[in-house]
Amino acid sequence: MAEITIRDLERRLAIHERECEERWKTIFRRIERQELALERIENILIAACGAIILGGGSVIVTILFMHN
């Protein structure tokens, strides 16, 4: 069985660190894209809720004016 030297461990650790760094960069890019998509969905929902509230309010106002 071959002995593992300090140099081997340093080399393997350096490779591992580079790979992990790249993985973290990829993960952060994906999270940023997901945050942007979530923000877009949130804005759409806020606009839709506003439209529903205004639409309901206009129906109530119209009904009130029709009965007066």
pLDDT digits (tens, 9 = 90+) for 5-14: 999 999 999 9
The whole-number pLDDT of residue 20 equals: 98
Number of structural domains found in the chain: 1
Q: How far apart are CA 63 and CA 3, in angstroms?
A: 88
Q: Which domain holds residue 66?
A: 1-68
The one-character DSSP state at 19 is H
13: left (phi over 0), alpha (psi -120 to 50) or beta: alpha
pTM: 0.65
Cα torsion 46, 51, 56, 58: sign: positive
**What sections of 1-68 are H helices per DSSP?**
6-66
Average pLDDT, rounded, for the chain: 95
The whole-number pLDDT of residue 50 equals: 97
Render pLDDT for 8-37 as a digit per residue (tens, 0 to 9): 999 999 999 999 999 999 999 999 999 999
The one-character DSSP state at 3 is P
